[in-house]
Amino acid sequence: MSRTLISNVRILDPVSGFDGPGHVLIDGGKIGAVLAADAPLDMAVDQHIDAAGGWLVPGAVDLAARFREPGHTAKADFASETRAAFAGGITRFALPPDTHPVLDTPAMIVRVLRISKAARSPWVMPLGALTQGLAGTALAEMSALKTAGCVGLSQAMAPLDDPLLARRALEYAQGLGMTVHIQPLDARIANGGCAHEGATATRLGLSPIPVAAEVAAMRFWISLVEDTGARLHFGRLSTARGAELVATAQARDLPISADVAAHQLFLTDAALDGFDPAAHLMPPLRSEADRLALREAVKAGVIEAICSDHQPHEADAKRNPFPLTAAGASGLELLWPLTLKWMTEDGVEPLTAVQRVTSTPARRLGLNPPVISAGQPADLALIRPETWTLDPKQLLSRGRNTPLAGMRFTHRVAACWHLGVARHRLSD
The b-or-e profile of 277-308 (16+ CB within 10 A means b, else e) is bbbbbbbbbbbeebbebbbebbbeebbbbbbb
Mean pLDDT value of segment 129-154:
98
Catalytic residue, candidates 77, 259, 309, 379:
309
Indicate the average pLDDT of the chain.
97
What distances in angstroms separate CA 207 from CA 117, 191, 201, 238, 348, one per listed residue? 42, 8, 7, 17, 36
207: left (phi over 0), alpha (psi -120 to 50) or beta: beta
Q: Read out DSSP for 275-318? A: T-GGG--SSPP--HHHHHHHHHHHHHTSS-EEE--B----GGGG
Distance CA(10)–CA(181), nearest Å, equals 34
The yes-or-no verdict on residue 427 having pLDDT over 80 is: no
| Alpha-carbon dihedral angle through residues 344, 349, 351, 355, given to the nearest 10 degrees | -80
Distance CA(48)–CA(225), nearest Å, equals 51
Could you tell me if 304 and 258 are in contact, meaning their C-beta atoms sit under 8 angstroms apart?
yes
Could you tell me if 122 and 83 are in contact, meaning their C-beta atoms sit under 8 angstroms apart?
no
Task: Give tens-digit pLDDT for 354-400.
Answer: 999 999 999 999 999 999 999 999 999 999 999 999 999 999 999 99
Other beta carbons within 10 Å of 369 = 17
Q: What is the pLDDT of residue 161?
A: 85
Could you tell me if 92 and 59 are in contact, meaning their C-beta atoms sit under 8 angstroms apart?
yes
Half-sphere exposure of 219 toward its Cβ, with a 13 Å CA cutoff? 8
Is 186 an active-site residue?
Answer: no
pTM: 0.97
Mean pLDDT value of segment 319-332:
97
Distance CA(39)–CA(61), nearest Å, equals 31
Mean pLDDT value of segment 163-173:
98
* SS3 (DSSP) at 421: strand
Q: What is the pLDDT of residue 426?
A: 86
Report the share of the chain in percent with pLDDT over 90.
99
Strand partners, 412: 384
Distance CA(64)–CA(262), nearest Å, equals 11
Report the share of the chain in percent with pLDDT over 70.
100
Mean pLDDT value of segment 28-46:
96
The yes-or-no verdict on residue 428 having pLDDT over 60 is: no
Task: Give tens-digit pLDDT for 187-226.
Answer: 999 999 999 999 999 999 999 999 999 999 999 999 999 9
Dihedral sign, CA of 377, 95, 160, 215?
Answer: positive
Strand partners, 21: 10
